[in-house]
Chain A
Amino acid sequence: MTRAWPIAVAAGRRRDYSTVLTPEIISTEYGVLAESLSPGPVGGAPRVRAVTTASGVRLTVAYRTHALTAVRDQQGRPLLMMYGLARTGTTTSPPSDADLDRAWDPAIAAYERFLAGEEAFAALPSRAVPTDWPGGGTVSPAPERPGLRTGIAALTAAVVVVLVGWFLLRPGDDPRPCLARTTATVDATAPTCTPTTLDPSPPAVR
């Protein structure tokens, strides 16, 4: 028994292809569905796609392409809906037709709500349904976060800045040119250059 979530991506009369139904487990990063699901032949065999969200959740999506004959866009063009099921983990085999059929009702219900208010619509979350979808592990480890490398680079840059700043501004370092080092051999108690502060104590010789 594998848990799977109904999904749907479709266009409306005015709005372009959008996610209308998303698995609740990716309800804050469902944009990956509209960006990954490409329509197949209408009425053809289901397509299976592996998708990975921005936070690293790996899903397998199996979907059909359906022509929405009752509605057209403002330009008079036909509209398509891609609907199906998503599960965690990766597999190349689709679920049974009977399992895929179970995605239709929630998909079309979500699409009707989408049509009723396209402009302000946000994808509806779907609940998991039990299926006999075979193959693949159900949970996959999250891959390296995309921001990690950027974070390391930023941290490195920050360390460089701090080190350079510390090196230039550390106490006792006078950026002004001093007398030649040979003066230190003349009198160890005498300053080798004029101190930048008003501190009357003689500078330490290093």
Chain B
Amino acid sequence: MDLITLALVAAVVLAVVLLTRRHKRRRPSPETPTPGGDAAVPTFRVVTLGPRGSGKTLLLASMYHQMQTWGGRGFFLAAPREQVALLNHWFTEVEDPGRDWPAGTVTADTREFTFDVRTRGRSGALHTVFRLSYLDYAGALLTQPPEPGSTLWKDLDDRIEQADALIAVIDGHRVRQWLDGRREGQMGLQHALTAMISRMLVVEKPITFCITKYDLLRDIDADEDGRLRTVRKLLMTNQGFRDLVNEHAGRRVVRLVPVSAVGPAFAELDESGAMTKLPDGLLEPTNVDVPLAAVVPDVFEQIMLRLDQAKLAAEFDRLRRQTRRSPGEAFADLGATLIRSTNRVIGALNPLYASLVGLAAADLVRRQEENAATHDAYVTRLLDEAEAHLEDFQLAQRKVIREFRSRVDVLEGRLSSSRLGGTP
């Protein structure tokens, strides 16, 4: 290599390095923990997809209203003051029979809500054990062609790419119309499904399909699971939905959850097909907490699904042999390996959460083994030992994961049709 060539190559490499560093300085990576911030609290990012009028915002308001207090659970949600005010304002608009429904979300009002999942540790101290960031946006970004010069649709695609889990909202009113043989129901639902699925097929994240306004479907079958089976059968006639369920069944957690933000005795359809509040309606939200409760356990479950089973077995063998290390270190090591192994799928998961992932993985394996009656006493003992050494914060974290998991299990036990893919 002559000197001129060498100088030219060096100059170009230097220019690229400088440009890259400048770019990085201007746009800090979202994965980088904020200095001085609470890096030990994992944040799970959720994006909700759904067409206009499908009930995304109502679901969010009802979900928060139900989960902002203990309500018999071992945790509750907290949010920044201005977000609480907005969510409560929406919910008040909904629950007051004398007031109109809230107007639809305007494109400019795309918002990210941050929910702290809080619980008490053994010491009695309150801990924020997780954060859930929840993106609420106008359905126009999903189903309408972008206007000239629009940029938010690209932003939505980026958010989907960065999300840890997706919630896809299916309008139960459209399902009702389709079942009643009305063409607008079938067309509306097919259009929405196609728009959602084209985006969801390319990113392999856990998905919860929520059928909103489920109270409108209560008369299609007396049996609760039979009702969900009917809806599932209808949805499977959409090729995209069928492909998503069939193609991804083995490696992606896909759920179908019936929800109602208001319950069966609050509103009814009028002659024009619009929802009208009943004057003495009773507000009884149904299953609105499930989509959010499913996020964290589904992210962990998907990590396990995507792992090569031989590699997983080898990792657990390694865990068993690590007699010199403390259980806490052993689980952190396991978690770090699992995160590395699934980095492309769970790219957003911070490596700092290794211990949490390791423990959650071991919990999941123990649960699966218990189900399969091949219970591994060693892993159980290790988990119990680990529990004795864990900090108050980590124990609180684990307690909430188990409670999330249990909420999802209860639904699956009651409605076996709710599991579409990634069955353990």
Contact = CB atoms under 8 A, between A and B. Distances in A.
Interface string A43-65: 00000000001110000000000
A78 B100 contact: yes
A15 B148 CA distance: 16
B108 A34 contact: yes
Contact of A75 (B5, B19, B53, B152): B53
Given A31-B148, A75-B173, A36 B108 contact: yes
Contact of A30 (B101, B103, B149): B149
B5 A167 contact: yes
Interface residues of B, number: 40
A76 B276 contact: yes
Given A29-B149, A156-B16, A11 B108 contact: no
Interface in A11-38: 11, 15-19, 26, 28-32, 34-38
A17 B5 CA distance: 57
Interface string B88-109: 0000000000001111101111
A126 B8 CA distance: 54
Interface string B251-282: 00000000000000000001011111000000
B9 interface: yes
B250 to A, nearest CB: 36
A147 B5 CA distance: 30
Interface stretch (B64-72, B121-129, B136-144, B394-402): B136-144
Given A17-B140, A76-B275, A37 B108 contact: yes
Main secondary structure of the interface of B (DSSP, over half): loop
B180 interface: no
A17 to B, nearest CB: 5
B156 to A, nearest CB: 11
Contacts of B149: 26, 28-32, 53-55
A182 interface: no
Contacts of B107: 16-17, 34-35
Nearest to B108: A38
Contact of B23 (A17, A54, A55, A149): A149
Given A17-B140, A75-B173, A123-B147, A160 B12 contact: yes
The 4 closest A-B pairs by CB, nearest first: A76-B274, A29-B149, A31-B150, A16-B140
